[in-house]
Structure 1
Amino acid sequence: MISSIGPPVTVATALLVYFGWARSDAQARAMGLDVSLFGYTVQDYALRGIRSLFFPLVSLLIAGLVWLAADDWVRSQLRPGRRGRLAARLSAAAAIGGICLAAACWLLAVVLPQGAFLAVPFLMAAGVLLAEWGVRLHRLTLGRGPRPAGRLVVQHRALETTFVFTLVTVLLFWGVSDFAQVVGRGLAADIEAQLPSLPRADVYSHADLSIGAPGVKQTRLGAASAPVYRYTGLHLLVVSGGRFFLLPDGWTLARGTVVVLPDNDAVRVEFGNR
């Protein structure tokens, strides 16, 4: 059970963390920043990625359940006295169809590397899995599956499984990377469109912070001997890595400044709604 469940769970966790990083990296670059500035942890990347991957993960799980049901039915047809000929045709069709699908996707990615669809890596992975499934079923129809195999055959099967598992994993990372780039850039565009709805952030400091971003207003409060500077016109983007990331009024992706302040006693930040 550990050998069956462990690798898929490990790959799923790695994909989740990688997607969170790639999505955050694309969003940061679109905003003119570097993702390392935010100081996200591995847990942060996983939590930031899981929301966008709900639908793909549910779809993969449903596809896995459908495949298990189909596999049980086809294997049941291979028993003596059942319709083995139909199962043999299905296994051959699965193998040939999977090979054609994977080859077509690979050709599309080579010929049109910039115009390939986001689904190409996932379809290629599905083709590889479908072809491998058809080959395994075909071996059973020939009567070679249940019989004890020699050491060389066992090693060959293990090597084949390793290659297929590695290839599918690489294809999944490829697809997740492309998908994360699109999601990250879309989130950055959403921030620009929904800037007024972000929490208001008023900054107070005893020192003159000299925030020169357009849209930020400075007001001097307190006595002349102990002044307090108030900065308004800012919105909270995120608090991470011991820093406040603030966006001024009128911020845009094309021409915008991100204000970064330390989260310590040097400044006081008040949050609220418009």
Structure 2
Amino acid sequence: MNEGAGGLGRLGTVVGAIAAPTSLVTALLYYFGYYHAYWFFAYFRVNSTVLGFGTADYLMRSLDALWVPMTVTATAGLLAFWGHDLLRHRLATGMRPPVLRYAIPTLTGLGFLLALGGLWSTFTTTFLNHRLALAPLSLSVGVTLLAYALHLRRTIAANATAPDDHADNQSNPDGHNDDSTAPSDTDDTDSTPNSGSPDTATARPAARPEWAALAEWAVVFVLVGLGLVWAANDYAASVGVTRAQRFVAGLANYPSAVLYSERSLSISAPGVRETRCGGGKAAYGYRYDGLALILQSGNQYVLVPYRWTRADGVALVIPRNDSVRLEFGPPPSSLPGPAQHPAC
């Protein structure tokens, strides 16, 4: 019996009974979407919690944050499963590849170093913390290598101590001993094997209790899972910042958002022009040009000036109500000559 597979299957049953898979996946997607949004708007110095994002908003953003990590993890996992299946088949047929003599100690040593580096990086700053997702991946990969090396050792040990019934049946097809080895009917003492003697019986290690295998896989699952969540969290934050930088780099190509307001909003951002409309008699008495809309979420508009810079740029969070309206036009880059600010 494969204790590792049995313990892993039992652990999956226990986890499934405690937390529904759909709820767990939704919670993780919400978490990564939250950090993606947080760091995207933090680049513009806006706290994303004031924008009223809903669950659907965070779930949509999580796809952008998890696309690369999920693709890489799935590909690596598939290759690992195929390689393990090939190795398992060779071990089952009695063939032990010579490379295992060096592979198991190598996996053990490398896994120990990686796991130690990842754990150390959780409590203090190391060189691993200065590279994107390197510290959490070190933890996850290190624990995985240690667990797999131990699994290989147990599999080889189990194959070595298993009784070779197949060889016994081939040597004696009829299931009987020949005359030269048959016990004498009168020699009862010599024909009775001494089961307690190591010289007459093969010593086999006692099977581990189920709770030990379950606890071991639970610890491995927690450490590897936390490392992957940590890595995905760092990547989500990096993607959020990168998307904000790309937005700023392409501002000149975004449609212009002309903001009309019933009252003066006293916007003094660089490149934003205020124009008074209709001598104070128009429904919307003030117009603001030179803005681009980042998004509308809940009851908020988030706009930035076309001349936004990281050094001194400001972002505008305008309540969405009947006192303001937006009018969209072509981006400044598509207009011939200098940008014009028409009257109301």
**Superposed pair shares fold, TM > 0.5:** yes
Preserved contact between residue 100 and residue 127 of structure 1 (Cα < 8 Å):
yes
Change in 2 beyond 3 A, CA 1:265/1:19: same
Aligned position for 1:171: 227
Query: 1:22: Cα distance to partner?
Result: 1.7
Cα shift readout 1:181-205 (whole Å, capped 9, x = no counterpart):
3333333333332222222111223
Q: Which has the larger radius of gyration?
A: 2
Preserved contact between residue 128 and residue 135 of structure 2 (Cα < 8 Å):
no
Preserved contact between residue 27 and residue 184 of structure 1 (Cα < 8 Å):
yes
Preserved contact between residue 25 and residue 35 of structure 1 (Cα < 8 Å):
yes
Match of 2:153 among 138, 143, 161: 138
Query: 1:208: Cα distance to partner?
Result: 2.9
* 1:254 lines up with 2:268 in the alignment: no
Report matched runs for 1:121-200 at 5 Å: 121-143=136-158, 153-200=209-256
- Tell which deviates more after alignment, 63-72 or 261-270: 261-270
Distance 2:226 2:85 in 1: 28
Preserved contact between residue 204 and residue 269 of structure 1 (Cα < 8 Å):
yes
Report the secondary structure of 2:268's partner residue.
coil
Aligned position for 2:269: 213
Aligned position for 1:40: 53
Change in 2 beyond 3 A, CA 1:9/1:166: farther
Structure with the largest fraction of strand? 1
- Tell which deviates more after alignment, 29-38 or 14-23: 14-23
Query: 1:79: Cα distance to partner?
Result: 1.5
TM-score, normalised to structure 2, is 0.68
- Tell which deviates more after alignment, 217-226 or 140-149: 140-149
Gaps of 5+ in 2: 1-8, 163-203, 332-344
Query: 1:125: Cα distance to partner?
Result: 0.5
Report matched runs for 1:47-58 at 5 Å: 47-58=60-71
The alignment yields a C-alpha RMSD, in angstroms, of: 3.3
Distance 1:65 1:135 in 2: 20
Change in 2 beyond 3 A, CA 1:258/1:81: closer
Identity %: 32
Aligned position for 1:99: 112
Preserved contact between residue 92 and residue 138 of structure 1 (Cα < 8 Å):
no
* 1:267 lines up with 2:324 in the alignment: yes
Report the secondary structure of 1:235's partner residue.
strand
Query: 1:84: Cα distance to partner?
Result: 6.6
Query: 1:37: Cα distance to partner?
Result: 1.5
Distance 2:128 2:100 in 1: 40
Opposite residue 156 of structure 2, the aligned amino acid is T
Distance 1:242 1:262 in 2: 6
Change in 2 beyond 3 A, CA 1:113/1:136: same
Change in 2 beyond 3 A, CA 1:243/1:86: same
Cα shift readout 1:5-42 (whole Å, capped 9, x = no counterpart):
96888766554432322222222222211110222223
Distance 1:55 1:177 in 2: 12
Query: 1:48: Cα distance to partner?
Result: 1.4
Cα shift readout 1:147-203 (whole Å, capped 9, x = no counterpart):
9976x6210111111111111122122222322333333333333322222221112
Change in 2 beyond 3 A, CA 1:154/1:170: same
Aligned position for 1:3: 12
